[in-house]
Structure 1
């Protein structure tokens, strides 16, 4: 199923998926979700191809997230079901990627955020470059790290997950490997050769011939900071701990957290802690769906998109406007079961 937003084809022994919205940073639409899901379904028996290889046009972005502008316009028009259907189908795709029976190789070149992490981070072979920038910045728009983001954050070493989720920290390619979001670093100028080899052989063994050892992993220097400040019982305790640190870096982190949506911060923290006890991705996706299902009506998603993406005044009016005023009941309400509307995967 080809569209003008995604190219799907076979090339040699590879099932090929290329996102083709470079001017929109390859933001993921509902049409793209359906097309990719249909292709994975057709290829899963391994008879047509030996592996799946997903990439994107251009080098600026693999995928900068979901098409949140479209979600904003439908939500402000009172159509909440469109967003809910998109998230349900997107999360089902994330689960399919995680469970796909043949290798799924994701080329995470350029910006990889939100929905882009969902398309790549659950694959069996995740490749970054020196151009990669990987992040889960959803708290800045009143959302939580979804698309299985809480699962990846929960599995990160120590308390890096809380640090990354609550700050939206931008990871380099080597950082993403350290945090468990990626597997191998391949220089950008060798990607074309790697893709050709994968297409010709249908074997992921070729990746080892192209991977390099990272020279520098900036996130490694923040592990001790994350353990000292993000191992506390609540998001507010973490923020207070960071605020008590007089270092320039700590003050930068304080600013990031104070600008984010307080309710989203509290929910993200609680979700990462819960998901750390889960045994499968599907359970994390179901928990995330409880928040996103309510995000337009009971949370701050539409206000966050208005301020950061649509009007760009960068002055969201959060309610509550301080993490100190978020109560456990508020968090529990947003993460409570949805009954018949709970996500079934």
Structure 2
């Protein structure tokens, strides 16, 4: 398969993203191929652990390939996107729950769909070029692929801040926020991966770990906790508007770019997921939103403004200062028979 290389090497199952010119964006076919590999390797005694990496310097995986989602949505074929997300979330759950150690090596951009693969591994490695983010609110989606689980379990209100502002995380910040575990210089990755392939000994990652760079966000934690502890989006917006601090002004500017509906739902999902110990409840909440995202949300308008026309001037359904609580509730209502079941062939 041209976009992804899945094979067994030594004592490892190996997954490598191989479309660096597209920043290793993950297509539906790549998602299904990963799931098939997880199914095959879970009972394969020859595979002691999994190692996931990517070709190219710019990105591990910069997100999902959303062109087809946009085209089908504009044609009012909402079923394609609903199946896409249901199948992707099922793969995310299998990655999180996989019965053997999984090591991911995430250079450059790791966003959206890339987070759903690399950041649910058990041994998550970042380096000097790593930039991790959940930028979905900027296109009218919520942080999904299980990203809301990571955000909900970040220290203090860091998850709310990252989910709403879509801020990028360098290596130290990514480890602080719970998106990664180890810092290792990228020049040392090939040798380490070769040793993992030879031995299947995941403890070699612990031995190779280097001192974690300082987390820039650590200096802002007090302000983040103060401003992003609100129950609903208007609470946070009003708190930021009432402050004249540089932090508040910068945060408000970031929020002003994103879909208010998506941010309101992101906040609610994070609050609902906090305290859970498994990924599936987070994926179920995310799916309630993405199932409705094309027909009732800002997703198609967000893609138009950011990707298609690139005018960076989306016309969101709601104003930042006037998001009704009912709009959030409607997007996150139970789906009944359409709910996410994690069963193949839905």
TM-score class, shorter: over 0.9
Match of 2:190 among 189, 192, 199: 192
Tell me the residue number matched to 2:119: 121
Tell me the residue number matched to 1:343: 340
d(CA) in 1 for partners of 2:87 and 2:42? 18
d(CA) in 2 for partners of 1:221 and 1:72? 39
What secondary structure is seen at the aligned counterpart in 1 of 2:321? helix
Moved more, 46-55 or 27-36: 46-55
Q: Is residue 2:275 matched to residue 1:292?
A: no
What secondary structure is seen at the aligned counterpart in 1 of 2:340? coil
d(CA) in 2 for partners of 1:46 and 1:4? 25
d(CA) in 2 for partners of 1:215 and 1:155? 21
Tell me the residue number matched to 2:159: 161
Tell me the residue number matched to 1:326: 323
In structure 2, stretches of 5+ residues that fail to align are none
d(CA) in 2 for partners of 1:229 and 1:79? 40
d(CA) in 2 for partners of 1:89 and 1:186? 32
Tell me the residue number matched to 1:19: 17
Tell me the residue number matched to 1:207: 205
Moved more, 333-342 or 276-285: 276-285
d(CA) in 1 for partners of 2:264 and 2:218? 25
Question: Once the 2 structures are TM-superposed, how far is the Cα of residue 246 of structure 1 from its aligned partner?
Answer: 1.7
Tell me the residue number matched to 1:47: 45
d(CA) in 2 for partners of 1:46 and 1:234? 47
Say how many residue pairs are matched: 342
Q: TM-score, structure 1 length as denominator? A: 0.97
Match of 1:111 among 87, 109, 112: 109
Q: Is residue 2:304 matched to residue 1:306?
A: yes
What secondary structure is seen at the aligned counterpart in 2 of 1:203? coil
Question: Once the 2 structures are TM-superposed, how far is the Cα of residue 208 of structure 1 from its aligned partner?
Answer: 1.9
Contact 1:266/1:323 (<8 A) preserved: no
Tell me the residue number matched to 1:255: 253
Question: Once the 2 structures are TM-superposed, how far is the Cα of residue 235 of structure 1 from its aligned partner?
Answer: 1.4
Moved more, 65-74 or 125-134: 65-74
Match of 2:215 among 214, 217, 223: 217
Question: Once the 2 structures are TM-superposed, how far is the Cα of residue 247 of structure 1 from its aligned partner?
Answer: 2.4
Question: Once the 2 structures are TM-superposed, how far is the Cα of residue 277 of structure 1 from its aligned partner?
Answer: 3.5
Question: Once the 2 structures are TM-superposed, how far is the Cα of residue 323 of structure 1 from its aligned partner?
Answer: 2.5
**RMSD (Å) for aligned C-alpha atoms:** 1.0
Contact 1:46/1:102 (<8 A) preserved: no
Tell me the residue number matched to 1:276: 274
Tell me the residue number matched to 1:56: 54
Contact 1:21/1:27 (<8 A) preserved: yes
Tell me the residue number matched to 1:317: 315
Question: Once the 2 structures are TM-superposed, how far is the Cα of residue 46 of structure 1 from its aligned partner?
Answer: 4.3
In structure 1, stretches of 5+ residues that fail to align are none
Which aligned runs of 4 or more in structure 1 are off by greater than 6 angstroms?
Answer: none
What secondary structure is seen at the aligned counterpart in 2 of 1:33? helix
Match of 2:139 among 141, 144, 167: 141
What secondary structure is seen at the aligned counterpart in 2 of 1:259? coil
Tell me the residue number matched to 2:230: 232
What secondary structure is seen at the aligned counterpart in 2 of 1:8? strand
Q: Is residue 2:150 matched to residue 1:152?
A: yes
Question: Once the 2 structures are TM-superposed, how far is the Cα of residue 243 of structure 1 from its aligned partner?
Answer: 2.2
